[in-house]
Amino acid sequence: MAVIRQLPDRLVNQIAAGEVIENPAAAVKELVENSIDAGATRIAVHLTQSGKSRLVIEDNGIGMDAHSLELCLMRHATSKLQDDDLLAIYSLGFRGEALPSIASVSRITIHSRARGANDGWSIECHAGDIVGVKPSSQKEGTRIEVRDLFYATPARLKFLKSDRAELMQVKDIINRLAMAYPEIEFIVTHDDKKILQYHACDALDRIAAIMGREFKSSSMPVMANAEGIEFSGFASLPTFHKGNAKSQYLFVNKRPVRDRLLMGVLKGAYADVLAGANYPLVALFINLPQDHVDVNVHPTKAEVRFKNPQTIRNLMFHGIQSAIREHGRESASLLPQQESRFVGYGGGRGGSFPRRPVSSSTAPSVNYTFPESAFQPHSRVAEQPVYPSANNGQNTCTDIAEDQPSYPLGSALAQFHENYILAQTHDGIVLVDQHAAHERLVYERMKEALREKGIKRQILLVPEVVTLSIDTADLLTEQKDLLQEAGMVIERFGEDAIIVREIPAILADRMNIKDMVNALADEVEDIGTVAGLGEKINHLLATISCHGSVRSGRRLNAGEMNALLRQMEDTPLSGQCNHGRPTMIRLSLDDIERLFKRQ
Ligand code: ADP
Ligand code: MG
pLDDT, tens digit (0-9, with 9 covering 90-100), for 345-354: 222 322 222 2
Return the best residue to mutate from 36, 41, 70, 78 for the ligand 1 pocket (most ligand atoms within 8 A of CB).
78
Query: What is the structure's pLDDT at 69?
Result: 95
Q: Closest Cα to residue 35, out of 91, 107, 95?
A: 91
CA of 79 to the centre of ligand 1 (A): 7
* Dist CA 170 CA 56 (whole Å): 13
Q: At what angle do helices 309-326 and 260-270 cross, to 10 degrees?
A: 30
Q: Tell me the mean pLDDT in the region 3-8.
A: 90
Element (H, E) at 241: strand 241-242
Query: What is the structure's pLDDT at 351?
Result: 28
Query: What is the structure's pLDDT at 551?
Result: 60
Query: What is the structure's pLDDT at 286?
Result: 96
* Dist CA 134 CA 131 (whole Å): 9
* Dist CA 178 CA 439 (whole Å): 40
- In ligand 1, the atom with minimum distance to the C-alpha of 92 is 2
Residue type, 121: W
* Dist CA 118 CA 533 (whole Å): 66
Q: Closest Cα to residue 299, out of 20, 99, 502?
A: 20
Query: What is the structure's pLDDT at 588?
Result: 86
Atom 13, ligand 1: residue with shortest CA distance = 78
CA of 99 to the centre of ligand 2 (A): 7
Q: Tell me the mean pLDDT in the region 380-408.
A: 43
User: Is the Cβ atom of 102 under 6 angstroms away from ligand 1?
Assistant: no
Residue 307 contacts by C-beta under 8 Å, 6 or more apart in sequence? Answer: 291, 292, 293, 294
Query: What is the structure's pLDDT at 443?
Result: 82
Q: Tell me how far CA of residue 595 lies from CA of 239, 420, 481, in angstroms.
A: 22, 21, 56
463-467 CB contacts, 8 Å cutoff, 24+ apart:
463/499, 463/500, 463/501, 464/499, 464/500, 464/513, 464/514, 465/493, 465/497, 465/498, 465/499, 465/500, 466/497, 466/498, 466/499, 466/500, 466/513, 466/514, 466/517, 466/518, 467/496, 467/497
Q: What is the pLDDT of residues 22-31, one digit of tens each?
A: 899 999 999 9
* Dist CA 193 CA 176 (whole Å): 21
Q: Tell me the mean pLDDT in the region 213-229.
A: 90
CB 65 within 8 A of CB 84: no
Residue type, 209: A
- In ligand 1, the atom with minimum distance to the C-alpha of 95 is 3
Q: How many CB atoms lie within 10 A of CB 307?
A: 13
* Dist CA 411 CA 416 (whole Å): 15
Q: Using 50, 70 and 90 to split pLDDT, how confident is the model at 378?
A: very low
Domains of the chain from N-terminus onward: 9-198 (3.30.565.10), 203-326 (3.30.230.10), 329-599 (3.30.1540.20)
Q: Using 50, 70 and 90 to split pLDDT, how confident is the model at 488?
A: confident
Residue 487 backbone phi and psi in degrees, to 5? 105, 10
* Dist CA 47 CA 422 (whole Å): 53
* Dist CA 289 CA 253 (whole Å): 9
CB 236 within 8 A of CB 280: yes
Q: Tell me the mean pLDDT in the region 260-284.
A: 86
Q: Closest Cα to residue 284, out of 236, 327, 243?
A: 236
Query: What is the structure's pLDDT at 480?
Result: 85
> What ligand is nearest to the CA atom of residue 142?
1
Residue type, 536: K
Q: What is the pLDDT of residues 133-165, one digit of tens each?
A: 999 999 999 999 999 999 888 888 888 999 999
